[in-house]
């Protein structure tokens, strides 16, 4: 998906908001919803009109299945549910995994099956998961709405269509019919534009500048040393966070312009002191989906610790495969599955010992261990191949030594001799790339670790969150910044938006669109 910010900010979004409220204010609520659905389909078709047929067909079929499940007798309900889940997963499997399957068959059996490369439809993973959750909710009698227009808008609502948050039918749709949301409100515009500007700044100013230092290491076959490997891995760690959380903030901000409150999708994940906590903070709506519709469906923790660990591992393994058709994503999912098993086993041991460590030293060590584990896993998430991921991981462990550019070594004076004694070599180069990488990583780390997240900044204005994260260690930011509807914040929002537009020198792609 190529994101043209100028067209979206100055044309599509304001026109959609104005026409929607103009229709709703005249009492033509259904007509307003039809217009919003048409605008959402236009937004989706901007990338590739061909796949409009796919998403529309998917909506029609799933709506039909949802009605069948809701109205059928008990004996037939499960049959319709299984048919719907198989159909959705089959569609996702074909577009996302068919080429991967054929390439592995060719490698294992040494055959030459040739297939045309299947282009992954935009957001197919997200709208597939959303519709599966609808079918399951219908089966569990949690959905009483069987209006085709309403269901279509639930799937296609453009702020969250492309990359989430993944919402439930019962969460979002009733908000469109709340009387207070059918008229424009200045507070909704102020909050929505401010959150959108914050997310836009995170994407274009922070994430896109970090990306400059990621590609040269991950997308080439050159040998890298310890410093280069860690620099690129840390840059990607923060690039992915600011890119995806930036999109989520933009989605939440856009939805708020229509009076709709979407669930929080990120809650300062890099402040986590355990992997369990990390997955409560990172892509919260996906974690919720995996828990409710996969982990619990596998049996959860009802049959003892072994079954619990097995189900955790399988859930993360499948969650990794959901992100992409490649062995790198499988390894990424396996790593987090192993991390979660170790984390729960450690908690079990602490409970057995009746020891609840709360010292600052212990929490700091737990945070550092968690963060390093996450950074290593992101290498497999980003690398184009398993071999390249292994090369970078080995370099991070010191297999290729460490080298600093001569330009930096010269400025270190006598310290360079000390570094040489511990195996740090001096190479050619001015060190400008390394310095730029370091500066941007430090800026990103300071923002992610010291400042409040969007949910904290707008907590007083954000309405009811559907699944608000609980109390976490290191939750309170060092600088407690609270948004207020004031002239100061208006100027600040304008500056964020202007900086985002000015730094967008070219068409910018969101990382999570490929998943």
Q: pLDDT tens across 276-285, in order?
A: 999 999 999 9
In the numeric block, the tokens 């700091």 are attached to: 364
List C-alpha distances in Å: 102 to 51, 96, 99, 384: 23, 12, 5, 18
**Known catalytic residue: 169?**
no
- pLDDT for 336-369, tens place per residue? 999 999 999 999 999 999 888 888 899 999 999 9
460-470 mean pLDDT: 53
Q: Where are the domains of the chain?
A: 2-107+119-184, 191-239+261-403+431-481
| 404 pLDDT above the threshold of 60 | yes
Tell which wins on pLDDT, 442 or 73: 442
List the single range of 66-80, 182-196, 413-427 with lowest mean pLDDT.
413-427
437-441 mean pLDDT: 94
Contact 392, 219 (CB under 8 A): no
Give the C-alpha separation, 213 to 235, whole Å: 7
Categorize the per-residue pLDDT at 461 as very low, low, confident or very high, splitting at 50, 70 and 90: low
Burial of residue 489 (CB within 10 Å: 0-12, 13-18, 19+) is middle
Query: Looking at residue 74, what is its pLDDT?
Result: 76
In the numeric block, the tokens 């800026």 are attached to: 443
Query: Looking at residue 236, what is its pLDDT?
Result: 97
Residues of the chain with pLDDT > 90, as a percent, come to: 51
| 466 pLDDT above the threshold of 60 | no
* Of 150, 169, 283, 323, catalytic: 323
284-296 mean pLDDT: 90
Contact 262, 330 (CB under 8 A): no
- pLDDT for 477-504, tens place per residue? 777 888 988 999 999 999 999 998 888 7
Tell which wins on pLDDT, 429 or 10: 10
Categorize the per-residue pLDDT at 117 as very low, low, confident or very high, splitting at 50, 70 and 90: confident
Burial of residue 203 (CB within 10 Å: 0-12, 13-18, 19+) is buried
Categorize the per-residue pLDDT at 243 as very low, low, confident or very high, splitting at 50, 70 and 90: very high
Contact 440, 209 (CB under 8 A): yes
Tokens read off for 10? 């100055």
Tell which wins on pLDDT, 173 or 361: 361
Burial of residue 374 (CB within 10 Å: 0-12, 13-18, 19+) is buried
Categorize the per-residue pLDDT at 413 as very low, low, confident or very high, splitting at 50, 70 and 90: low
- pLDDT for 294-303, tens place per residue? 898 888 888 8
Q: Classify residue 268 as left (phi > 0), alpha (psi -120 to 50) or beta.
A: left
- Residue 295, C-beta contacts closer than 8 angstroms, at least 6 positions apart: 311, 312, 315
C-alpha 29, offset from chain centre: 32
C-alpha angle 407/412/417, rounded to 5°? 105
Contact 324, 514 (CB under 8 A): yes
| 33 pLDDT above the threshold of 80 | yes
Categorize the per-residue pLDDT at 141 as very low, low, confident or very high, splitting at 50, 70 and 90: confident
| 452 pLDDT above the threshold of 60 | yes
Provide the H-helix boundaries in 121-274: 124-139, 148-156, 158-161, 169-172, 186-201, 208-211, 215-218, 226-257
Q: What is the dihedral of CA 31, 35, 41, 45, to 10 degrees?
A: 140
Query: Looking at residue 37, what is its pLDDT?
Result: 95
Side-chain half-sphere of 166: how many Cα atoms within 13 Å? 23
Query: Looking at residue 464, what is its pLDDT?
Result: 46
Most confident among 58-72, 177-191, 377-391 (mean pLDDT): 377-391
């Amino acid at each position: 998906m190529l994101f043209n910010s100028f067209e979206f900010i100055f044309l599509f979004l304001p026109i959609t908001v104005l026409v929607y409220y103009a229709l709703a204010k005249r009492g033509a609520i259904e007509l307003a919803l039809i217009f919003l659905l048409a605008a959402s389909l236009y937004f989706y078709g901007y990338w590739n009109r061909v796949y409009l047929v796919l998403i529309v067909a998917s909506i029609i079929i799933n709506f039909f299945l949802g009605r069948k499940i809701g109205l059928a007798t008990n004996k037939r309900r499960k049959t319709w549910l299984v048919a719907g889940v198989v159909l959705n997963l089959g569609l996702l499997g074909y577009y996302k995994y068919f080429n991967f399957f054929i390439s592995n068959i060719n490698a294992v059996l040494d055959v030459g099956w040739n297939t045309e490369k299947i282009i992954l439809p935009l957001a197919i993973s997200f709208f597939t998961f959303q519709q599966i959750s609808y079918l399951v909710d219908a089966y569990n009698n949690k959905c009483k709405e069987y209006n085709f227009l309403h269901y279509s808008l639930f799937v296609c609502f453009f702020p969250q269509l492309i990359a989430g948050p993944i919402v439930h039918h019962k969460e979002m749709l009733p908000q469109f019919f709340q009387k207070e949301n059918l008229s424009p409100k200045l507070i909704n515009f102020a909050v929505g534009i401010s959150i959108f500007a914050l997310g836009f700044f995170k994407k274009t100013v922070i994430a896109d500048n970090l990306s400059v230092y990621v590609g040269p290491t991950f997308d080439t076959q050159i040998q890298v040393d310890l410093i280069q490997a860690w620099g690129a891995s840390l840059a990607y760690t923060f690039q992915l966070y600011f890119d995806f959380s930036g999109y989520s903030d933009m989605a939440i901000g856009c939805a708020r312009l229509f009076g709709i409150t979407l669930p929080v999708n990120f809650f300062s994940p890099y402040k986590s002191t355990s992997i369990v906590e990390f997955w409560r903070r990172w892509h919260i709506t996906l974690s919720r989906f995996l828990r409710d519709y996969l982990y619990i469906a596998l049996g959860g923790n009802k049959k003892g610790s072994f079954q619990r660990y097995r189900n955790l591992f399988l859930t993360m393994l499948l969650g990794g495969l959901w992100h992409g058709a490649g062995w790198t994503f499988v390894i990424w999912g396996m790593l987090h599955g192993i991390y979660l098993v170790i984390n729960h086993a450690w908690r079990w041991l602490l409970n057995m010992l009746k020891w609840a460590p709360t010292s600052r030293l212990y929490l700091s060590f737990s945070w550092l261990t968690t963060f390093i584990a996450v950074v290593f896993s992101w290498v497999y998430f980003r690398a184009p191949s398993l071999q390249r991921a292994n090369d970078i991981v080995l370099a991070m462990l010191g297999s290729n030594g460490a080298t600093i550019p001569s330009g930096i070594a010269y400025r270190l004076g006598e310290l360079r001799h000390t570094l040489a004694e511990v195996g740090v070599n001096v190479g050619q180069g001015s060190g400008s790339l390394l310095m730029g990488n370091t500066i941007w990583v430090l800026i990103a780390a300071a923002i992610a670790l010291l400042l409040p997240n969007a949910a904290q900044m707008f907590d007083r204005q954000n309405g009811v969150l559907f699944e608000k994260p609980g109390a976490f260690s290191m939750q309170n930011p060092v600088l407690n910044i609270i948004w207020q509807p004031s002239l100061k914040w208006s100027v600040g929002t304008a500056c964020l938006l202007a900086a985002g537009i000015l730094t967008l020198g070219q068409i910018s792609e969101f990382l999570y669109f490929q998943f």
